[in-house]
Amino acid sequence: MDSNDAPDLSRLRLDHPSEGIARITFSRPDRMNAADARFIADAKAALAEVDADTSIRVLVLTGEGRAFCAGLDLTGFGDEDLVDERGKVLRTMERQKEIADLVARVRALRVPVIAAVNGAVAGVGLSLLCASDVRYAVPQAVMAVGYIRAGFSACDMGLSWLLPRIIGAGRAQELMLTGRRFSAQEAHTFGLLAGVVDAEDLHDTVMATASQIMQNAPLSVEFTKEGLWKSLEIPSFEAAVEFENRQQLFTALLDDRAEATSSFLEKRTPKYHRR
């Protein structure tokens, strides 16, 4: 994308800490990166830019300040003009769909998403965390479902689908029904996090994982991400195997598959071309 066409982002930063790696940093530290209408729009614009750039192999999500994302901004969503125009009921449903769509876009993104949790996580922040593919957090990070403590159903923004599949139904039920806070170490024990790392090591840990992912062929990674998520919805082992067979056939015929094999046998760094 030409720099003149880059989206005007006020609630986050989009940068590239290394070749092939993009990073979205939620940047509203005075509100603990709480989400409002502009936050949602900015995040969708940044995700669209990442998805369209085939040179990007991995996306990192993180936050600025004391929070990753502390949920929705309960002081105001910033769409009062639309509430006046369309009425509270209709606009509330539109708003709900807009926020849930952001979580769906993270899950469906072409490339793997690594969440680097730098602080507090609640509400939509927890849904974004669950929609990511690999998750790390600092020891100080505290998490909560959030919605139920604010008087809403805890089944929101895809969480009732995502969380039980990651940590199991029993534990998800306990967390969602109580809305209690839980620590990064608990989240690691539950299987929600790949690791708990000190703040000064978080960036290096995430970049190391991104680098490991990028040692694999681009389309092989993209197909694996898609296959892993889709297999959670496939109703039988036989259907999952048939889906896998088609993935294997497609990747077997790629130029990058041959390059992966050659570079492994020749003990050299592969040169992929996403073809």
Please, which pLDDT band fits residue 146 given cuts at 50, 70 and 90? confident
Please, which pLDDT band fits residue 6 given cuts at 50, 70 and 90? low
Pairwise CA distance, residues 10 & 51, whole Å: 20
pLDDT of residue 7: 59
pLDDT of residue 136: 98
Pairwise CA distance, residues 97 & 130, whole Å: 18
What is the model's pTM? 0.93
Task: Indicate the pairing of strand 58-63 with strand 21-26.
Answer: parallel
What's the Rg (C-alpha) of the chain? 19
The rounded percent of the chain whose pLDDT value lies above 90 is 89
Burial of 259 (0-12, 13-18, 19+ CB in 10 A): middle
| 49-105 pLDDT, tens digit each | 999 999 999 999 999 999 999 999 988 888 989 888 999 899 989 989 999 999 999
- State mean pLDDT over 5-26: 89
| 154-178 pLDDT, tens digit each | 999 999 999 999 999 999 999 999 9
Is residue 246 classed as helix, strand or coil in its secondary structure?
Answer: helix
H helix and E strand count, the chain:
11, 10
Is residue 143 classed as helix, strand or coil in its secondary structure?
Answer: strand
Side-chain-side CA neighbours of 127 within 13 Å: the count stands at 23
Average pLDDT, the chain: 94
Task: Indicate the pairing of strand 182-183 with strand 142-144.
Answer: antiparallel
